């Protein structure tokens, strides 16, 4: 594995950032009129129906997959997308970048991975940036939504640590079986925390179902096919910097399609977050985490 990135590799990396970044925009457009946890349940149902036929059952690891799906999908997406209801897609895309610092912290605690001074510096910068964003006066009433997104980022990182304990499963198999288990888990969580399900389904328009298809097929199936193709052929430190473009596409998509506008303080905070994450992702020598769905 290694070698110089080709022009096609660069196109694939940018495509991944675009596909994943726009996923937040599609979700925001849908949850303005549809329960967010229920939307995620439909999203994973689509992913499962597309992928499960092409992978082997994880015999002997069903309980692990169940637990991973609960943490990295059911809990994570319930927190993140419930939080998204109260803030703009562009702000959520910036805050969710804390997944990377949390991933380093979880690795240090759970796997006793050595964490360099550069990474600690990047972690401090990233959290400072989120603090600047949360301190924006216009977001004074949205602090709970921001905390939910932060909680979702931590849950995602914890799920990645759990994924690393799996045996003999490639990325597609993990994605497929996490989706299989996450679908009923999310449905249960939706039944507990949300209401008006049948009415929401009956009144859902093309925006909602387009979002479901985009999140389930384009963002997950196609996006991860491109991503895993890159990480199989190149070191993670060569391809991870593409992810720094993800919030850029979310911000552009939010402005273009949702009419969102960032204040000066949020822009500064966002730049600080991205700078902190860049310090972590661009370090030459580091362990390669396994990635599940976003």
Q: How many independent structural domains does the chain possess?
A: 1
The residue with tokens 């993670």 is: 236
pLDDT at 4 exceeding the cut of 90: no
55 in a structural domain: yes
* HEC string for 142-187: HHHHHHHHHHHHHHHHHHHHHHCCCCCCCHHHHHHHHHHHHHHHHH
Residue 288 covered by a domain = no
Report the greatest alpha carbon distance in the chain: 53
Q: Is residue 176 part of a domain?
A: yes
Is 293 a domain residue? no
Residue 286 has pLDDT above 80, yes or no: no
287 lies in some domain:
no
pLDDT, mean of residues 22-32: 95
Over the stretch 81-138, which tens digit does the pLDDT of each residue have? 999 999 999 999 999 999 999 989 988 888 788 888 999 999 999 999 999 999 998 8
- Decide if 268 is inside a domain: yes
* Domain-embedded: residue 160: yes
Please give the residue range of the domain that contains residue 151: 7-281
The structure's pTM equals: 0.90
Question: Is the residue at 185 inside a domain?
Answer: yes
pLDDT at residue 287, as a whole number: 47
State mean pLDDT over 165-185.
90
């Amino acid at each position: 594995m290694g070698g110089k990135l080709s022009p096609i590799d660069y196109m694939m990396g940018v495509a991944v950032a675009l596909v994943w970044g726009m996923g937040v925009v599609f979700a925001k457009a849908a949850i303005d009129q549809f329960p967010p946890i229920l939307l995620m349940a439909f999203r994973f149902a689509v992913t499962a129906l597309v992928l499960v036929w092409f992978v082997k059952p994880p015999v002997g690891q069903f309980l692990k997959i169940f637990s991973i799906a609960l943490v990295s999908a059911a809990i994570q997406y319930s927190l993140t997308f419930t939080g998204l209801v109260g803030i703009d897609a562009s702000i959520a895309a910036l805050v969710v970048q804390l997944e990377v610092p949390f991933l380093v912290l979880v690795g240090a605690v759970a796997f006793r991975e050595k964490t360099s001074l550069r990474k600690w510096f990047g972690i401090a910068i990233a959290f400072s940036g989120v603090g600047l964003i949360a301190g924006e006066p216009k977001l004074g009433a949205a602090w709970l939504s921001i905390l939910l997104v932060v909680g979702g980022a931590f849950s995602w990182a914890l799920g990645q640590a759990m994924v690393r304990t799996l045996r003999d499963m490639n990325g597609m198999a993990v994605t497929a079986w996490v989706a299989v288990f996450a679908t009923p888990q999310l449905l249960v969580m939706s039944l507990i925390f949300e209401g008006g399900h049948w009415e929401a389904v009956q009144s859902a328009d093309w925006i909602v179902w387009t979002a479901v298809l985009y999140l389930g097929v384009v963002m997950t199936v196609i996006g991860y096919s491109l991503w895993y193709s890159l990480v199989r052929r190149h070191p993670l430190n060569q391809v991870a910097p593409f992810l720094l473009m993800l919030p850029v596409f979310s911000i552009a998509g939010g402005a273009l399609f949702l009419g969102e506008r960032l204040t000066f303080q949020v822009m500064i905070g966002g730049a600080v977050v991205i700078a902190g994450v860049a310090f972590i992702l661009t370090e030459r020598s580091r362990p390669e985490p396994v990635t599940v769905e976003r």
